[in-house]
A and B are shown apart, each in its own frame.
Chain A
Amino acid sequence: MTAALEMRNITKEFPGVKALNDVTFTVRKGEVHALCGENGAGKSTLMKVLSGLYPAGTFDGEILIDGQTKHFHRIKEAEEAGIAIIYQELALAKNLSIGENLFLGQEPSKFGILDWERLYKESERWLKEVGLSDVNAEQLTGSLGIGKQQQVEIAKALAKNAKILILDEPTAALTEQEVDILLGILREFKERGVTCIYISHKLNEVFDIADSITVLRDGMTVGTYRTNEVTEDQIISMMVGRELKERFPRIEAMPGDVVLKVRNYSVMNPDIPGKKVIDDVSFEVRKGEIFGIAGMMGAGRTELVMSLFGSYPGRSTGTVEIEGKPVRIQNTEQAIKAGLALVSEDRKKYGLVLGMDIKSNMTLASLKSVSSAGFINHNQEVANGNSYIRSLRIKANSVETIVGTLSGGNQQKVVLGKWLLTAPKILIVDEPTRGIDIGAKYEIYNLMNELLRQGVSIIMVSSELPELLGMSHRIMVISEGKRTGEFKAEEATQELIMAAATGGKER
């Protein structure tokens, strides 16, 4: 059988860097083929070569689809050959209807006049294919949750006659349930002979769905394996090029006094009057522990921590005490003063000014400490930046490197550095390792441990249960804004947490 896709000896160079070095990547027809590698290993570059974003001629090597050599000069040409990429950041127009999105760029029409009847008729068919038969195609796309939007995106690819479906970190923003749905769809596709390339950091999913795995490291192919021939640990060590002894270096809790006490805390939904996103939640965080918050996407985890940090638009009620003193935090300025710090879930949107350099980003929340009477002491700023570049092991030329040019892991470390410079008592991290590679994750865990030793308390919100279980000392679960459980690290299991997160009912 000929391969659905063959990429032979692909080499792509940027000035001074070989992003891809003689990479060979073969995908069999009708299989789900996972592409694994740390950030910067060359996965995205390889997909950009495939999708025509890097036109033929700007790289060396051959691309064969169904045994035929192809030269893509434009994205459109790759699309016409049946290649569809679904990016992590979905490319849907949220203010258009689902049907309009499905046929964007190839609307059924006569003499340039839209044939709405046919558009919605055909939409239904494609939506059914991806398990969205209950969704009305005339609905606005933005009204769907992220998981369903992704299904729409897949339907759109199918409507474009995609033969090879590429999913780039498809589950990064999905809840466990939505992940299950997605994987279910992919399994159906497999049976129908649709070829899939699945790019993910989450190895449990990869092993769940993929038939083959190709590992890239530093722009080179490490190898391609049948999923049933390798173990997760083997893949990890191939990705990082070394054995990882333990993925979660949790240290013993050193619980001290209660630092943060939250009582009967409720947060109103700013858009829907009378609706609460957080409903009567109480908890305590002690000095020197990691307090995990689990829950499905949309359960209110992010809203809770944003509200505590004074940066959520909805009104809140209830009491908050920090070190025994009641505080009333209404904006981020007050939150920082009270000793809180928040590493938000989306570092590019909320954490960093990408066009600024490392030192300016790092000192943004603590400008007072490097200035007097409003005048910045640049040398003090550089000194502060340097000390965190070293202690966080940020890989960059200097503190004057523009943050937008750094890798995800290093960017996340810059965000951490920014908050550490404010010398917080309580560090809130929301999805601290999202979209960063395993090596950098491990470093971030170690950093969190280091902070615990220094007496900082950490609140960790995460969608990755293994991470939450592996790092936290206590885990609170919330479901639809309500607290549905709290577990000690020793007694918590994925099953217990999932049960609580889905509303305390058996799944």
Chain B
Amino acid sequence: MKPSSDLSLEQSPNTRKINWFKVDVRAYTMIGALLIIWVLFGSLEERFLSATNLSNLFLQMSSTAILAIGMVLVIVAGHIDLSVGSLVGLTGGIAAMLNVWYDWNTVPVIIATVAIGAAIGFIQGWIIAYRAVPAFIVTLGGMLMFRGILFGSTGSVTIAPLSPSLRTLGQEYTTDIIGWIIGGAGLLLAGYLALRKRASRIRYGFAVEPNSVSMLRLLLIGALILGFVYLMNSYKGIPVPFLMVVVLALIFTFISKNTTFGRQIYAIGGNPEAARLSGINIKRRVLYVFVLCNTLAAISALVSTARLSAATMSSGQNSELDAIAACVIGGTSLMGGSGTIVGAVIGALVMASLDNGMSVMNMESFWQYIVKGGILILAVYIDIYSRQRKKTA
């Protein structure tokens, strides 16, 4: 029933279609929605768009964004992780205990915390993958247990203050010069990757886009990066947690798009039977996914604990829901098989913007819950509606 598309093949032996601006429509929609939210808050309260506040915003979104990066993989694989919020509380508490009570130095604290996150991910992942207990149940149990262990082991007291060097993770900013250097390095990296891609396409005999288009795109990326650095430098510099988000997002985007592991995760989420019959070791992949997700939860815990310079009993409470919401707003399907890291980071930014915008406007906090809940439903509603239209069209 699609006669129009039958012709293209025979005449185009070695094609690889060039998408001039290969970003999917959904990503653009997301960025559009984010800009609308910013403009809206900006027009209602001009402090919202000030460098100070935007810097704060990027700081605030960091711990949720890091959780969301790990959550994307879990959801894409067709599972869910409800335990990451409590895990943030627990690993944050452990980091603070080691640092404050036992005077551990920063590096060992980081290593120990991340290792504990990974170990917990291994246990949860093993039960889910090898013992076939639903992830919902395992991580719901984890959510209760981790919070309980936190209460029990700390005696339900706030642990503070952290040592100054550990606080860097959550509170520090880059100096102006370092900011510019990082921006420049980012730009160079983008240029290098573009060149490499071009060379590879030529080697395979695929068409390459004209130089002018590549240059234009690089210019755009450059303007975005340098504009961001300029904006951040006009306050205190780039927040270190946000740098971590960028680095992690790059790494995990690469994993999801360019590694066999990433591809297999998407296949498992899309059709586990087909994946299994293609010789993919599903159990091991799912185990790895939970290890990664919970490792990221420990990193997120380090950031949020360092930012407060304290481990509190309520740290990380409900943040699993924020992370899931960020993924879903960012276009990850809860059915598994589709979703992007970038989308989830933007989703986290949307959630943080709503929180931040409303508090800048001095709205009472109950509004934040109502609005965030509404936006979550609206985002999925629009997404499903547009997919259905595409299907029946």
Pairwise interchain contact A379-B204, C-beta atoms closer than 8 A: yes
Answer whether residue A435 sits at the interface, using C-beta atoms and an 8 A cutoff.
no
Bound-complex Cα distance A418 to B1 (A): 24
Answer whether residue B201 sits at the interface, using C-beta atoms and an 8 A cutoff.
yes
Pairwise interchain contact A354-B279, C-beta atoms closer than 8 A: no
Answer whether residue B230 sits at the interface, using C-beta atoms and an 8 A cutoff.
no
Answer whether residue B88 sits at the interface, using C-beta atoms and an 8 A cutoff.
no
Answer whether residue B388 sits at the interface, using C-beta atoms and an 8 A cutoff.
no
Answer whether residue A316 sits at the interface, using C-beta atoms and an 8 A cutoff.
no
Answer whether residue A307 sits at the interface, using C-beta atoms and an 8 A cutoff.
no
Bound-complex Cα distance A151 to B291 (A): 49
Given A352-B271, A375-B258, A397-B8, check contact A364 B1 (CB 8 Å). Answer: no
Answer whether residue B206 sits at the interface, using C-beta atoms and an 8 A cutoff.
yes
| Smallest CB gap from A393: residue in B | B9
Max chain A Cβ within 10 angstroms of own Cβ: one of B6, B261, B267: B267
Given A45-B1, A353-B275, check contact A364 B261 (CB 8 Å). Answer: no
Bound-complex Cα distance A316 to B304 (A): 53
Stretch at the interface among A161-169, A238-246, A366-374: A366-374
Answer whether residue B131 sits at the interface, using C-beta atoms and an 8 A cutoff.
no
Shortest Cβ distance from A459 into chain B, in angstroms?
16
Max chain B Cβ within 10 angstroms of own Cβ: one of A15, A45, A368, A397: A397
Pairwise interchain contact B15-A360, C-beta atoms closer than 8 A: no
Which residues of chain B are near A390, meaning CB under 8 Å? 9, 13
Bound-complex Cα distance A387 to B15 (A): 10
Pairwise interchain contact B274-A353, C-beta atoms closer than 8 A: yes
Interface residues of B in 363-393 (CB under 8 A from A): 393
Which residues of chain A are near B264, meaning CB under 8 Å? 364, 367
Number of A interface residues at 8 Å Cβ cutoff, please give it: 56
Interface residues of A in 194-232 (CB under 8 A from B): 218-219
Answer whether residue B337 sits at the interface, using C-beta atoms and an 8 A cutoff.
yes
**Partner among A40, A333, A374 whose Cβ is within 8 Å of the Cβ of B1:** A40
Answer whether residue A42 sits at the interface, using C-beta atoms and an 8 A cutoff.
yes
Interface residues of A in 79-104 (CB under 8 A from B): none
Which residues of chain B are near A382, meaning CB under 8 Å? 16, 204, 206
Answer whether residue A336 sits at the interface, using C-beta atoms and an 8 A cutoff.
yes
Max chain B Cβ within 10 angstroms of own Cβ: one of A45, A352, A400: A352
**Partner among B260, B270, B281 whose Cβ is within 8 Å of the Cβ of A356:** B270
Bound-complex Cα distance A331 to B275 (A): 12
Pairwise interchain contact B2-A386, C-beta atoms closer than 8 A: no
Pairwise interchain contact A353-B258, C-beta atoms closer than 8 A: no
Shortest Cβ distance from A66 into chain B, in angstroms?
30
Pairwise interchain contact B278-A332, C-beta atoms closer than 8 A: yes
| Smallest CB gap from B262: residue in A | A376
**Partner among B9, B15, B273, B338 whose Cβ is within 8 Å of the Cβ of A355:** B338
Pairwise interchain contact B267-A356, C-beta atoms closer than 8 A: yes
Pairwise interchain contact B278-A365, C-beta atoms closer than 8 A: yes
Shortest Cβ distance from B367 into chain A, in angstroms?
37
Pairwise interchain contact B393-A14, C-beta atoms closer than 8 A: yes
Bound-complex Cα distance A323 to B278 (A): 22
Bound-complex Cα distance A145 to B322 (A): 47
Answer whether residue B23 sits at the interface, using C-beta atoms and an 8 A cutoff.
no
Number of B interface residues at 8 Å Cβ cutoff, please give it: 41
Stretch at the interface among A272-280, A343-351, A460-468: A343-351
Pairwise interchain contact A365-B258, C-beta atoms closer than 8 A: no
Max chain A Cβ within 10 angstroms of own Cβ: one of B16, B17, B281, B338: B16
Answer whether residue B153 sits at the interface, using C-beta atoms and an 8 A cutoff.
no
Pairwise interchain contact B267-A364, C-beta atoms closer than 8 A: yes
Bound-complex Cα distance A349 to B278 (A): 12
Answer whether residue A342 sits at the interface, using C-beta atoms and an 8 A cutoff.
yes
Pairwise interchain contact A332-B279, C-beta atoms closer than 8 A: yes
Pairwise interchain contact B266-A351, C-beta atoms closer than 8 A: no
| Smallest CB gap from A364: residue in B | B278
| Smallest CB gap from A400: residue in B | B17
Answer whether residue B165 sits at the interface, using C-beta atoms and an 8 A cutoff.
no
Bound-complex Cα distance A349 to B266 (A): 16
Answer whether residue B280 sits at the interface, using C-beta atoms and an 8 A cutoff.
yes
Bound-complex Cα distance A380 to B16 (A): 11
Shortest Cβ distance from A377 into chain B, in angstroms?
8
Pairwise interchain contact B203-A376, C-beta atoms closer than 8 A: no
| Smallest CB gap from B281: residue in A | A333
Answer whether residue B263 sits at the interface, using C-beta atoms and an 8 A cutoff.
yes
Bound-complex Cα distance A364 to B282 (A): 13
Q: Digit string of A39-60 for contact with B (CB within 8 Å is 1, else 0)?
A: 0101001000000000000000
Pairwise interchain contact A360-B267, C-beta atoms closer than 8 A: yes
Which residues of chain A are near B362, meaning CB under 8 Å? none
Shortest Cβ distance from B374 into chain A, in angstroms?
28
Bound-complex Cα distance A418 to B267 (A): 14
Q: What is the interface of chain B, defined by CB distance below 8 A to chain A?
A: 1-6, 8-9, 13-17, 200-201, 203-204, 206, 257-261, 263-264, 266-267, 270-271, 273-281, 337-338, 393
Of all A-B residue pairs in the complex, the 6 with the closest CB atoms, nearest first, are A353-B270, A365-B278, A367-B260, A333-B279, A379-B204, A364-B278
13 chain-A/chain-B pairs, Cβ below 8 angstroms: A14-B393, A218-B3, A331-B281, A332-B279, A349-B274, A353-B270, A360-B267, A376-B259, A378-B258, A386-B15, A386-B16, A399-B16, A407-B1
